[in-house]
Structure 1
């Protein structure tokens, strides 16, 4: 694994009821993209076979939906624009799931600003979560991005509330021109359970799709 920075943190204090990022990947009907001729074209999304292989299950995918997903992106959902955004959800027969979001920021400079904000939020995600959830454990890694696209970054975020299960999420942030994509993968587990190299390949594939559109 190529990792540039790594952090593990623990806080102590009164145990409270926690708002933990959930791993809910059930198949549901998403709102289909609009066909307004004045709207940006719907970008190409990842296919199930392009996600990191699961050892015991195939990947399945819903349709590409317009607007944000009903399952929010933990740590960064508040930064996503309200318009010119699409999503596609993926799931397995087990607890692993994934979500891809693509945004059309309108121009490369705005896309670069959005990308920088998303990356900063993910770099601070574990620390921010710990401040909101005393008595918990959290950690993060910042990994090398890919050579695809105009920019990319990969982060892993691990959270472990007291007396509850642990979760690991991988986030890939990438930009191609005015388009920004976020790919999220998650399951129960810790930092060592994250398929970082396979996920980097997935992110590169997502960026190559956008470059070909």
Structure 2
């Protein structure tokens, strides 16, 4: 028969062991891996521009707003979150795509609205700056893709020198991404690939995400 003192000491030791185990913190669960950053929106390729008499060449995708900004939308898109890509042909035809990723959907909506307003008022502002300039501007309709895209044309001329230029523009949005596509060449609206530009606009918005 075990002596009472031995029994009490054994019980006390067991209690201390249980207490010590209780004080050992449980191993911390591994922190969840951070979610991968979303892939940046994709740009148009040269082959997705409206058909031209000579092939399109695509420049590199560059960070920030273009150093030579559009006369219609300069100063609207922030440099942060913006990238752009220029395109050209061997003739007097050029194009550009700009993509801005806003912090929130509401900011993207506001940016798209401001860009549209700038295009709608562009010709009037250009005429104020240059009284010798003449032209016509038209809203060419909505393209049904994602949150929608809107197409504009601005036809300008200098009668004194006989030069004419036509520009096609679009603003589209998918979630937090807003894209502007610009196309321009010497000539008039009758010679511009309006339907091809609308197809390009559709592709540009569809490629964002």
Pairwise TM-score range, normalised by the shorter structure: 0.7 to 0.9
**Relative to structure 1, is the Cα distance of residues 41 and 67 closer, same or farther in structure 2, using a 3 angstrom cutoff?**
farther
Paired residue for 1:84? 81
Paired residue for 2:70? 73
Post-superposition offset of 1:161: 2.5
Contact 1:40 1:84 in 2 (8 A): no
Paired residue for 2:206? 208
Post-superposition offset of 1:193: 2.1
Post-superposition offset of 1:136: 2.1
Greater share of residues in helix: 2
Post-superposition offset of 1:182: 0.2
Which 10-residue stretch deviates more, 136-145 or 98-107?
Answer: 136-145
Post-superposition offset of 1:162: 4.0
Paired residue for 2:12? none
Paired residue for 1:184? 182
Give the CA RMSD over aligned residues.
Answer: 1.6
- Partners in 1 of 2:61 and 2:124 — Cα distance? 33
Post-superposition offset of 1:39: 8.3
What SS does the aligned partner of 1:90 have? strand
Say whether residues 1:144 and 2:141 are aligned partners: yes
Higher RCO (CA-CA < 8 Å; seq separation 6+): 1
Aligned residues: 173
The TM-score normalised by the length of structure 1 is: 0.77
- Partners in 1 of 2:84 and 2:38 — Cα distance? 14
